[in-house]
Chain A
Amino acid sequence: MIVIVGGGVTGLSTAFWLARDGHPVTVVEKGIVGWEASGRNGGGCTHPYSPLFREEQRLWPMMDDLLGHPTEWRGHRLKVALDEGQLDRMWKSTALATEQGFQAAALDRAELRDLVPWVGDNAIGGIHWKYGGHANPQRTSQAYAWAVERHGGRIVQHTAVRDIRVRSGRAVAVETSAGEIGCDAVVIAAGPHTAALAEPLGHRVPMAPARVEMIVTEPLPPILHGGVDGNGLYGRQTLRGNLAYGGGPHEWIDLDGEATPRPVNSPVVASLARRLNEMFPRLGHVRVIRSWGGIVENTPDGRPILDRLEDPGNVVVASMSSVGFGLSPATGRALAQLVTQGSCDFADLSQLTLARFGNLPLDWRSRQGWDALPA
């Protein structure tokens, strides 16, 4: 039995790939699958700086069929620049993908407006990324869970993991609020709670939790490529037509125990509206109908930890450092390989080990300026 601790996209995708290959898996989730950051994010599927990028791009077009439920995935991204500085920075990040053989095209203002009728005269142009895309986070999370069950895996919700029992250098059981589950391997993919779960195993997994937020407008007539970013915002037009956008300041927080705190919003929602209205000046009348917050974790360098521990040797630790949703099809496949064969054969994960933080000072959060606001 392989026990996956955490029913977010990373854990669920890992369980999916394992179950699909016939391995017995159980996902233990303290709440509802995909309930936290996995189900409430920008839905972006475009991460060219990741060694998992090629696999991300290969897998997304297949995910609806693989999972058996719609993920709302759509390809391509459009970038809107309001000044030369924005455009320069967009081309720099574009180069990361074009250097790997993906295609992008410059758009002048008229071409941009043909694709995104909401942009105004303040846009100087943009870029059409003929790669990447976006999907519906909640629908995708649930689709993973149902696919795990269809392949014979178990999803145990509303159950918290309290301890991982080790004997002779191997994890042998996972103790939960609903009893013990014997195991041959464990994957800890519990988002910001990963650190607390790994600590009793003798491993410090450095991460700091933070609260981030997004806004949603009423639906607009759908455009062809809804994955449109710019002006310091990330987001998308959903297939229903709503604009869902985030960005801007995050709040570093402290966790209190195993619960994830209710991710409240702040007046930053108005700053998001301001920047969305700057990017799409023709949409000043469009109403914001909702907002949401989410809790994500970051490692000290902002990069994932995808690592199979040496001791206990059958435990894999996974944190995507605040950028997990889009990469999840590929991450899950990589983690499944770490569990079953000890290494990943399609991506270079050598820089994403826990060991890179071996000399980290204990007060690293304070040194980074990442402490929570005073109580």
Chain B
Amino acid sequence: MASQDPTSIAGKAFPFRGHVDHLVVGAGAAGIAAARRAAASGAKTLLVDEHPLDPGLFGLDIPYLFGARFDAGTSNAARMEERIVAARPDLLAAMEDGVEVQLGTAAWGGFAKAPASRLFPTPVIGLADRDAAWLVGCDRVTLALGARDVVLPVAGWTLPGVMGAQGFDALLRLYGAFSGRRVVVLGGGALAEGTLAAARAAGVTVAGHLATPATLRIEGREHVSGVTWRDGGTWHEVDCDTVVMAVDTVPMIDLAELLGCPIAWDPARGGFVATGRAPVDVIGDAAGTAAAARGAWLDLATAEDHTLVCACEDVTAGDLRALRPPRYLDAAGPEAGLAALGALNQDQVKRLTRAGMGPCQGRRCRESVHALLSLDRPSPPASHRAPLRPLPLSVLAALEEDPALRANWTGWFGIAAQWLPHWEPVPANPEFIGGRLSGGDVVK
């Protein structure tokens, strides 16, 4: 056999910043408990959590809908770290048990053996703080990723002051950095009850509570100033500076999907859920939340064609139904609209309309788009892609790289004959049929 293709991935090392027996992602109650159990069994255990977040992510509403209701304290990493440790006293107990804890560390990538890649025999997780990305290897990984907010695209939802229940909870209880004063809470289940209780306990005024789906509008010019809703034939109005959408959350399945875990539609557990597959475990809210309660709310919110569904890419419910290309193309969709595609697939609709293609990575519109595409049957899940948190080029660029990767880097395959005129015969090469680009030919 000849030498391995030098421009391929074969023979390249991907340096790790350590290898642990057991990596736990997410330091909520479930993640901390799992990490403590692992450490107690003698496993070298690393527990990572993305909080305190890169301050830039609050404004992008990642991972929760923060609605710009965070105070300036969130940009002080040291202070936020203290608050998080204070809010989760079990973290100290985990450290005493021998768990290595890294806060402010986001898991942005998961690389595992798959039919299209044999690069890593055991899972490799991409981690990053504000300055750099790195890789860590592990024998087992437990995903305690928690749940994500569900956005109702009601009129006015993009105004600063519109939050999700998870965003509200994080700012209130984890960061102690909630900057609102009068809230209206939407939602009728345990999630809304918990939100109301947390607000009252923190001395936040609850100005209103809508427990059942209604046609409603969030009022305000530059910020939320109130909510109006219809009850029968009457419109009601209440003043507030914050609206908390506490209808539903969905399991956070992004990293599980990257690691190859099966994903299934199970509305009784919140929507799309991931099932752990050795050596990956999925636990806590990430493995299933309360039964989905958003259907009627989303149907009402998306009934009007002018409803803005994807705020990053400016896509309305009407654009989705018409399968309209983005506005900068100034073109119509196919005459049949969505029906022109046959069986609907959210990723395909994403690429054509751009819904879900923006910097928030679809976090704010996934559920609305899915509901719009699932009138007859549930459409397959929209895919998640690394980096699962938007990372600056400089942060990803800081990942340590094998010098052999640079020495053999080429733009495309490095087959010499591919770049010579195809109307002339392939130059004879005794060893490699198409010849190899190497040395000075390779663009470094």
Contacts and interface: CB of A to CB of B under 8 A. Distances in A.
Contacts of A51: 421-423
Interface stretch (B220-228, B239-247, B268-276, B342-350): B342-350
B342 A157 contact: yes
Q: Max chain A CB contacts within 10 Å: which of B126, B313, B385?
A: B385
Given A234-B412, A269-B396, A375-B118, A303 B418 contact: yes
Nearest to A251: B9
B409 to A, nearest CB: 5
Contact of A366 (B2, B7, B425, B426): B2
Contacts of B396: 269-270, 273-274, 288
B114 interface: yes
Given A211-B117, A271-B401, A351-B424, A266 B9 contact: yes
A232 interface: yes
Contacts of B385: 265, 290-292
A69 B325 CA distance: 9
Contacts of A292: 385
B6 to A, nearest CB: 8
A167 interface: no
B415 A298 contact: yes
Given A217-B393, A292-B385, A300-B434, A239 B328 contact: yes
Contacts of B418: 49, 301-303, 321-323
A267 B124 contact: yes
Contacts of B41: none
Contacts, number: 269
Interface in B1-28: 1-10, 12, 14
Nearest to A40: B351
A290 B357 CA distance: 9
Contact of B413 (A72, A250, A367): A250
Q: Max chain B CB contacts within 10 Å: which of A35, A274, A286?
A: A274
Secondary structure of the B side of the interface? loop
Interface stretch (A14-22, A122-130, A196-204, A276-284): A276-284
Interface of B: 1-10, 12, 14, 56, 109, 111, 114-119, 124, 126, 133, 135, 258, 260, 313, 325-326, 328-329, 331, 334, 340, 342-343, 345, 348, 351-352, 354, 357-359, 361, 385-387, 390-394, 396-397, 399, 401, 405, 408-413, 415-426, 431-434, 440-444
Given A267-B399, A287-B391, A322-B418, 14 more contacts: A49-B421, A69-B334, A70-B331, A232-B411, A240-B313, A247-B409, A251-B10, A253-B115, A262-B114, A264-B260, A288-B393, A301-B433, A322-B413, A352-B422
Interface of A: 32, 35, 39, 49-51, 69-70, 72, 85-86, 89, 93, 96, 138-139, 142, 146, 157-158, 210-211, 217-219, 229, 231-234, 239-240, 247-253, 256, 261-271, 273-278, 280, 283-293, 295, 298, 300-304, 321-323, 348, 350-352, 356, 360, 364, 366-375
